[in-house]
């Protein structure tokens, strides 16, 4: 029987300003040689993967550990002194510190949106000090090319963490900007929302979203030109990937286009592409068909 709740750990991540702590949630056998790292999207946190992690631990025929970091600035992790540090290369460096602590002998990576971009860096950047190469890579509704309209849309709400009287009120506000996640039962959505808030440190008993609003600072500095340059670099990384790769796409996604998904199936690691009907950006890996797809890929 898989544990119902994960254990919380911290890893010290070096940086020029003295470093910071990154939190990570650990499921399964801490001594297992097979580690699956699940990394969340831009404004999310590691508890997004609770359902998937429980399932992987329950279904694996061998000892397995599922590790779900809170990327710095989110969840239980530290906030950075310099907001411009909230960028993919620095997140990848933090993950190297995490992997050095975990010391896996078999390593798989599941990355939703931003977490997938971090995975592409770790798999595609030559010469990184990984303890072992990534064996299997799951990219959840993300690729080297991201539509400019999506970047503009995210910029309209990122950093607005709000104030809410109740968890239910916060969940409703998040649902209003998360239609792309697809259909969920009220309980599923509440479970996804529960770890997305933190109490405000003032007299009024109220909640706000869990992340540092300053993660929006470098995001809003992106220009159309820098986006195009970044896309070219990401394709280079993607073409260097040797891990067996599964690409998940919400059939209604405005973030990962059909053309980009098709290209990812034809070049680099030649990803296996699976689409989910009635879902946009991004599949939450809560629905049974989504979980079954990822579990079969990682454990089959």
Q: Which helix (H) or strand (E) holds 98?
A: helix 88-102
Least confident of 35-49, 119-133, 175-189: 175-189
Whether pLDDT at 147 is above 90: no
- Is the pLDDT at 137 greater than 70? The verdict is yes
Q: How confident is the model at residue 203 (pLDDT cuts 50, 70, 90)?
A: low
Angstrom distance (rounded) from CA 173 to CA 176? 5
- Report the mean per-residue pLDDT for the chain: 95
> Which tens digits make up the pLDDT trace of 246-267?
999 999 999 999 999 999 999 9
What are the extents of the domains in the chain?
7-159+211-299
Largest interatomic CA distance in the chain: 57
pLDDT tens digits for 106-129? 999 999 999 999 999 999 999 999
Quick one: pLDDT at residue 2? 55
What pLDDT shows up at residue 93?
Answer: 97
β-pair type (207-209, 197-199): antiparallel
Q: Which residue has the higher pLDDT, 149 or 249?
A: 249
* Token code pair at residue 275: 């689409």
* Mean pLDDT of all residues in 212-236: 95
Percent of the chain at pLDDT exceeding 70? 98
| pLDDT for the residue numbered 1 | 47
pTM: 0.96
Detail the DSSP E strand segments found in the chain.
7-13, 20-28, 34-39, 65-70, 106-112, 134-140, 197-199, 207-209, 244-250, 272-276
The stretch 199-218 carries a mean pLDDT of 89
Q: Confirm if 102 and 36 have CB atoms less than 8 A apart.
A: no
What number is the average pLDDT over the span 65-85? Answer: 97
Please provide residue 10's backbone torsions phi and psi, each rounded to the nearest 5 degrees.
-135, 145
Burial of 235 (0-12, 13-18, 19+ CB in 10 A): buried
CATH topology of domain 7-159+211-299: Rossmann fold (3.40.50)
């Amino acid at each position: 029987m898989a544990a119902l709740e994960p254990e919380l750990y911290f890893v010290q991540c070096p940086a020029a300003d003295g470093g910071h702590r990154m939190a990570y949630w650990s499921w399964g056998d801490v001594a297992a040689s097979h580690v699956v790292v699940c990394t969340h999207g831009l404004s999310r946190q590691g508890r997004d993967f609770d359902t998937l992690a429980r399932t992987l631990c329950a279904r694996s025929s061998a000892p397995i550990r599922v590790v779900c970091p809170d990327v710095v600035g989110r969840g239980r992790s530290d906030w950075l002194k310099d907001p411009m540090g909230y960028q993919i290369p620095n997140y990848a460096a933090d993950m190297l510190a995490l992997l050095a602590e975990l010391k896996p002998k078999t390593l798989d990576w599941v990355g939703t949106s931003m977490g997938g971009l971090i995975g592409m860096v770790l798999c595609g950047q030559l010469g990184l000090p990984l303890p072992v190469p990534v064996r299997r890579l799951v990219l959840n509704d993300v690729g080297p090319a991201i539509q400019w309209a999506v970047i503009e849309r995210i910029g309209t709400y990122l950093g607005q963490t709000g104030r809410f009287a109740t968890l239910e009120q916060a969940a409703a506000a998040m649902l209003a900007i998360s239609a792309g996640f697809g259909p969920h039962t009220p309980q599923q959505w509440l479970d996804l929302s529960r770890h997305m808030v933190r109490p405000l440190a003032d007299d009024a008993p109220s909640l706000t979203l869990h992340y540092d609003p300053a993660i929006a600072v470098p995001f809003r500095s992106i220009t159309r030109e820098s986006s195009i340059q970044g896309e070219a670099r990401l394709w280079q990384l993607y073409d260097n990937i040797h891990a067996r790769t599964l690409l998940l796409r919400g059939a209604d996604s405005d973030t990962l286009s059909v053309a980009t998904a098709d290209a990812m199936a034809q070049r680099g690691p030649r990803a296996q592409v699976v689409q989910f009907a009635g879902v946009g950006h991004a599949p939450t890996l809560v629905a049974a068909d989504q979980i079954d797809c990822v579990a079969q890929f990682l454990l089959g």
